[in-house]
Structure 1
Amino acid sequence: MKTYAADIIPKIERFSQKLDNITMLVNHHWVVLDEASQTKTVYIFRNNGQLLISVNGRVQKARWEYLGNNAILIDLHDESYLFRHGFFDKNVLALKVDSANEYAVLINESRYRADLNSIAAVLDFLSLTYGEDVVPKLQQPHNHHLPITYYITLVKESYSLRMGAYREYKVRLSGGAVFTIYKKKSNGKFFFYHNREMVQFSNKSSCIEYIERVAG
């Protein structure tokens, strides 16, 4: 499986399910995230220890075993792979390669079809859902470089003729002011409406800095 470095995983581990929650793991279709490959690989963990691996519809059989202590052993052909707990919820399964700071990232197929189809999308989803940057420290450009603190919450995903597919977030600044910002799915850019004009930003930090400067 392709593996990735993902610094956010240890920071949100407290929100994770444990790997011994077998009911969340088995009989779901977990898509292995591999952006460099054009193939679609699906892992299906079964109660009897059988692991079905579907590559573009062609299935091979392997074995898996939960070893306790949040570790999983996968036997494939003549090789065995040991993975440890990284992060686990109903959408994302991140398995840490033993003795390495890298993760194999698998997505529940129901979410993979929707929007979790790249490592960037997964990291963004985890950050916004579990608050890796719930209280980030940014440099305020107009007030003696005091830190800007805020809370951000995903409200909904929707579509409009003007923006196309987008996500809507509520942002609450530390002073109590609440604003709505948007993220366009096609290019990942953020938007904020100010004086009835849509102002576009390349990233979330720039958007919130602007809000603090002109509207906070």
Structure 2
Amino acid sequence: MNDYLHKTIPNLKPFSYERHHDSHFINQPWVLVNGISKNKSIYTFKEDNILEISRKDNIIKTSWNFNLQNTFTIETEDGFIKVKAYFKDDDILVLNNLEKKDFALYINTSKYDDELNSIEDIQAFLKDKYRKKVSTVIYDHEFYYIEQAKEYGPFKVEELAEKVNSGEISAYCFVKDVNEYDYSKRMRIEDLIQEL
């Protein structure tokens, strides 16, 4: 079941009590992505093991518990379920049901100005979030490029853009991050420049 989750959502970080519990988890408004188009639900995990689920004008109080194996037990309408928690980013939480091939995805909206009420809102949130993240990462990183079977670099994206503008290299040269081993991602200089 774990393989299914990690293939569907790669690069998940396991919940760490020390790192996540107080700062990222407790008393945070977690909007449930699953089923948002039918019924928006906001989950708030309280310190006293109370889980508040807000839906329109209705608040349901239930319980949750955390154990030493980094698993949670959550009381739902269908009984108790055991889940393992992961973070995609500090504001994206995934609860993987340990008893079946199922997971729930949540977004913390406390640092987001607009409300998430639909799939379209979620798509806009994710697009905006990752565009900012990519721009920051690309701007700060260095890349190698390959031209006529020779590798050059590393260069920052600004330097690569200058080389393209001066005609020194083609915008269609493949690039790789300094931490990557090969060019298998098939990213080109023009892809980097578009994200700036």
Q: TM-score, normalized by length of structure 2?
A: 0.58
Question: Contact 1:5–1:103 (CA<8 Å) still a contact in 2?
Answer: yes
Compute the displacement of 1:211 (Å): 3.5
Compute the displacement of 1:85 (Å): 2.6
Match of 2:67 in 1: 67
Provide the secondary structure at the position in 2 that maps to 1:84. strand
Compute the displacement of 1:23 (Å): 1.3
- Separation (CA, whole Å) in 2 of partners of 1:123 and 1:98: 30
Question: Contact 1:8–1:123 (CA<8 Å) still a contact in 2?
Answer: no
- Separation (CA, whole Å) in 2 of partners of 1:99 and 1:124: 34
Structure whose residues are more often helix by fraction? 2
Match of 1:22 in 2: 21
Unaligned stretches of 5+ in structure 1?
Answer: 130-152, 156-167, 181-191, 200-204
The higher radius of gyration belongs to 2
- Separation (CA, whole Å) in 1 of partners of 2:43 and 2:91: 14
Of stretches 107-116 and 52-61 in structure 1, the one that deviates more from structure 2 is: 107-116
**CA shift in 2, pair 1:82/1:101, >3 Å:** same
Compute the displacement of 1:105 (Å): 1.2
- Separation (CA, whole Å) in 1 of partners of 2:67 and 2:87: 17
Question: Contact 2:28–2:110 (CA<8 Å) still a contact in 1?
Answer: no
- Separation (CA, whole Å) in 2 of partners of 1:121 and 1:81: 29
- Separation (CA, whole Å) in 2 of partners of 1:35 and 1:56: 14
- Separation (CA, whole Å) in 1 of partners of 2:96 and 2:128: 19
Unaligned stretches of 5+ in structure 2?
Answer: 145-152, 172-184, 192-196
- Separation (CA, whole Å) in 2 of partners of 1:33 and 1:209: 33
Match of 2:80 in 1: 80
Question: Contact 1:85–1:95 (CA<8 Å) still a contact in 2?
Answer: yes
Kindly report which structure 2 residues correspond to 1:125-140, keeping only aligned pairs within 5 A, or say none.
none
Q: Which letter maps to 1:105?
A: L
Match of 2:154 in 1: 176
**CA shift in 2, pair 1:51/1:103, >3 Å:** same
Kindly report which structure 2 residues correspond to 1:1-216, keeping only aligned pairs within 5 A, or say none.
5=5, 7=7, 9=9, 11-13=11-13, 16-19=14-17, 21-24=20-23, 25-34=25-34, 37-87=37-87, 90-100=90-100, 102-111=102-111, 113=113, 117-118=121-122, 122=126, 154-155=135-136, 169-170=138-139, 172-174=142-144, 175-179=153-157, 195=165, 208-211=187-190
Between the two proteins, the alignment pairs up a number of residues equal to 153
Match of 2:179 in 1: none
Question: Contact 1:9–1:86 (CA<8 Å) still a contact in 2?
Answer: no
Of stretches 85-94 and 72-81 in structure 1, the one that deviates more from structure 2 is: 85-94
- Separation (CA, whole Å) in 2 of partners of 1:18 and 1:54: 26
Provide the secondary structure at the position in 1 that maps to 2:110. helix
Compute the displacement of 1:119 (Å): 6.7
